[in-house]
Amino acid sequence: MSIQDTNSENLLVVRNLKKYFPVRAGFFQKVVANVRAVDDVSFDIKVGETLGLVGESGCGKTTIGRTILRLIEPTSGQALFNGQDVFKQRGRSMKNLRRQMQIIFQDPYASLDPRMPVGESVAEGLRIHGIGSKRDRFEIAVKTLKKVGLEEYHARRYPHEFSGGQRQRIGIARAIALAPDFIVCDEPVSALDVSIQSQVLNILKDLQSELGLTYLFIAHNLSVVEHISHRVGVMYVGKMVELSPREELFRNPLHPYTKALMSAIPVPDPRLKRERMILTGDVPSPLNPPPGCRFHTRCPFAMDRCRMEEPAFREVGPDHWVACFLVE
Ligand code: SF4
């Protein structure tokens, strides 16, 4: 993908994003290696779209979300948000961008101050950005809490008084209080009971239609991603290996890793059987990823070429991108 491939429908354009974490050792703390958490990843997200990012833990999906928001600095690459180069912004312009780009964390309890009433937590971003008086901010916080299904009296309560699902609603309220355009949803339902997960996913969907939000939705569970995403990207050891519209990916997965993930999704009808593709071996470390295709150590179809050469990430059908020599 090149930056010229972008069009005006895109809210976010990410090109050749890399994030390496240096490993230091010795008396002088010299860099002796790099953990290649994200290694040359490119994608776009259209206005009002949800792009799901899926993969096993350590594949780099959370690092992508945090790097785009500049919660951590990139090693190289480009991220254009509404045409603005996120990684080049400083001071006031970065602060303005932060207002438009928010995050919902996996563990809402850890992201809430236990000594602060939730109304104040929800209004915190408004205070940081100097929006309204204290009273105005409280009113906005109450309105925002109501948008996620909570009541005015909840604004005066403390985080420990809420259930996990309610705390995640508060996390969502914090993210939308500043009326952002874009939200990174970083495993927002992974810590919740299955019965609560769909409620939270439905709130996110409703808010998307009501407020015109765009999401990057990160999860390790393909069923969750299927429920909410318009397009899905599959990550493996720092690389995007497949990217496609949701229906196409679930109907016609092309990368062997995506096929293995799909085969692990339980089928609700016991009469239907899905052939399980069980992967052997461990996920390689991003500190020392295998040469060639990073999946070759676990791929049942690996050929000699896969061990030496890295497959390009190519468009093989309309908006369907894959990195595998089998799909050339
Ligand atoms: Fe498997 Fe080779 Fe395709 Fe990699 S490039 S997924 S090792 S067949």
Going by C-beta distance under 8 Å and a sequence separation of 6 or more, which residues neighbour residue 72?
19, 63, 66
Buried b (16+ CB within 10 A) or exposed e, 267-294: eeeeeeeeeeeebeeebbebeebeebbb
Whole-number pLDDT of residue 200: 94
What pLDDT, on a 0 to 100 scale, did the predictor assign at position 7?
61
DSSP 199-264: HHHHHHHHHHHHHT-EEEEEES-HHHHHHH-SEEEEEETTEEEEEEEHHHHHHS--SHHHHHHHHT
For the cut 50, the answer to whether the pLDDT of residue 3 exceeds it is no
Whether ligand 1 lies within 6 angstroms of the CB of 302 is answered as: yes
The whole-angstrom distance between residue 327's C-alpha and the CA centroid of its chain comes to 26
Please give the pLDDT value at position 221. 87
Residues with Cβ within 8 Å of residue 294, at least 6 apart in sequence: 236, 237, 238, 239, 284, 310
Residue 263, pLDDT score: 86
Q: How confident is the model at residue 272 (pLDDT cuts 50, 70, 90)?
A: low
Distance 283 CA to ligand 1 centre (A): 15
Residue 2 has pLDDT above 60, yes or no: no
Instruction: Select from 307, 308, 325, 327 the residue to mutate for testing ligand 1; criterion: most ligand atoms less than 8 Å from CB.
Output: 325
Summary count for the chain: helices (H), strands (E): 10, 12
Contact between 295 and 236 under an 8 Å Cβ cutoff? The reply is yes
Residue 67 has what pLDDT? Answer: 97
Residue 219 confidence class, pLDDT cut points 50, 70, 90 = very high
Q: Which atom of ligand 1 is nearest to the CA of 325?
A: 5
Q: Are strands 101-104 and 182-186 parallel, antiparallel or unpaired?
A: parallel
Instruction: From 71, 80, 16, 76, select the one nearest 45 (Cα to Cα).
Output: 80
Q: For the whole model, what pTM was predicted?
A: 0.92
| Residue of 234, 295, 305 best suited for mutating to test ligand 1, as the one with most atoms within 8 Å of CB | 295
Question: 311: CA distance to ligand 1 center in Å?
Answer: 8
Domain chopping of the chain, boundaries: 253-328
Q: Which of 5-9, 75-79, 267-271 ranks highest by mean pLDDT?
A: 75-79
C-alpha 228/C-alpha 50 separation (Å) is: 7
CA angle 10, 102, 113 (to 5 degrees): 170
pLDDT in tens, 27-61: 989 999 999 999 999 999 999 999 999 998 889 99
Distance 313 CA to ligand 1 centre (A): 12
pLDDT in the model for residue 279: 83
**Cα–ligand 1 centroid distance for 60 (angstroms):** 19
Kindly report which listed range (263-267, 269-273, 274-278, 322-326) carries the lowest average pLDDT score: 269-273
Model confidence band, residue 142 (pLDDT cutoffs 50, 70, 90)? very high
Which of 279, 297, 324 maximizes ligand 1 atoms within 8 Å of its Cβ, making it the mutation to test the pocket? 324
Decide: 292 in ligand 1 pocket, CB within 6 A.
Answer: no
How confident is the model over 142-153, as a mean pLDDT?
96
Mean pLDDT value of segment 162-190: 95
At 275, is the pLDDT very low, low, confident or very high (cuts 50, 70, 90)?
confident
Provide the pLDDT for residue 234.
97
Answer whether 284 contacts ligand 1 (Cβ < 6 A): no
Average confidence score pLDDT of the chain: 92
227 alpha carbon to ligand 1 midpoint, in Å?
28
Q: Tell me the per-residue pLDDT of 255-269, one tens digit each, with 9 for 90 and over.
A: 999 999 998 777 666
- What is the per-residue pLDDT for 4? 44
Least confident of 195-204, 234-243, 259-268, 271-280: 271-280
pLDDT of 273 higher than 70: no
The finding on whether 256 has its CB within 6 A of some atom of ligand 1 is yes
234 pocket-lining for ligand 1 (C-beta < 6 Å): no
